[in-house]
Structure 1
């Protein structure tokens, strides 16, 4: 199929991009286009104007400021995946990105675009929640910061206003933290039936903090608080891993759709949680 008719605009600044969005509530931001353009081709999305922000210098760059990793929203996923800075400070980002589609997709798709798209099976969305990341957005009213856990409202819906653009991701860098990421798919590159991103902080061998986020198990990615509670204050052993994986599966109310029934998704979530936490144990 072909998309419905639309106009195209390529602003030269972030301020101009925001003004274009504010002028038309049916305008959409185009970053990498790896999610939006297929939806347009199937006419699931019918924007009146595409506002192309792919070349705005304000949205590029990877840097560290004190104990925060800052990723520009326009950074290509492949660049973040292979970045030595990301690998040193927050390897969970790279581990999650390796599961996003195929390399060609990651070479065009952007970090901010994935978060703003808010796919319930998006690996970066789950990683952002597990990392306690914040996103900075810019609109006609200025800049504001949103916690990643407050960004995702429902499938493909976020708490961004129609005139706001996600401009950067801010990830806290914590010491004594280990990471894991796993997902269950039918084929490599497919959307996940279920997946888990995990970040655990340790004092000696005891998990003093646990943050797990699940993907592919409902209307949005979400924190797996029951599994987190099963891990806090305990050593990461085969028994505590098994208990947390079971708690994650028991807490899920996954959809029944053409990809998997609820029982299959719960089993996949259990397996993904087990694998992610085993990675943490060996990190």
Structure 2
């Protein structure tokens, strides 16, 4: 049986993620109290369900018990994954204001921003239990695509996610390491290259002819190669490495694509995302 636990901040897209899982053939349960998770998984498993997705968040009065429950389930069931969704406070405030929804922790004289901060504190212990996704700048379609990438992963061992981004849009919340390549020559200032991306051959050739860009690439590659075994020994399931340039279109995309290709050739499990292109 494969069990996916969807959790995270209110307004970060958990409903969209759960719907994407349902469309992919999972039996989905929304807003389950944490302490009912083991019995629910056992009951559905006995009923013949082999792929189950459950949403648990701060609406559960027994949320503090969830980390221990997840550890026990992993010891007994094996394939238990956690998908943790988060977004910036600015994005969440905007989403709640636009939809006029009430935050589950609002009330008692606290503001929406204070409710979000409180919820972030309550969920802090869950973020490291699985795969974190920053949905601040994601469209619903992009989130559905990322969820499908997530369920296609082999649960055994470490998965490395390389993601490009633009600093002017903010640093990804789910990044474990952030590398800044803004000091390198910018293809955006070349009229023929400006409308292209780091995936296009003219941009690739431009950056490969820049000694500084090649030196930066080698430094990042060597750093990741050196420390990756430590994360594997630490039984980590996911490691997110973010490469940022100004707009997230040229330099960061080039570096992300090249690093992804290199580590795939070394037989590592690798995912690639380009936040600003998606």
Query: Which TM-score bucket, shorter chain as reference?
Result: under 0.3
TM-score, normalising length: structure 1: 0.26
Q: Which has the larger radius of gyration?
A: 2
- Larger strand percent: 1
TM-score, normalising length: structure 2: 0.27
- Larger helix percent: 2
**Higher relative contact order (CA closer than 8 Å, sequence separation 6+):** 2
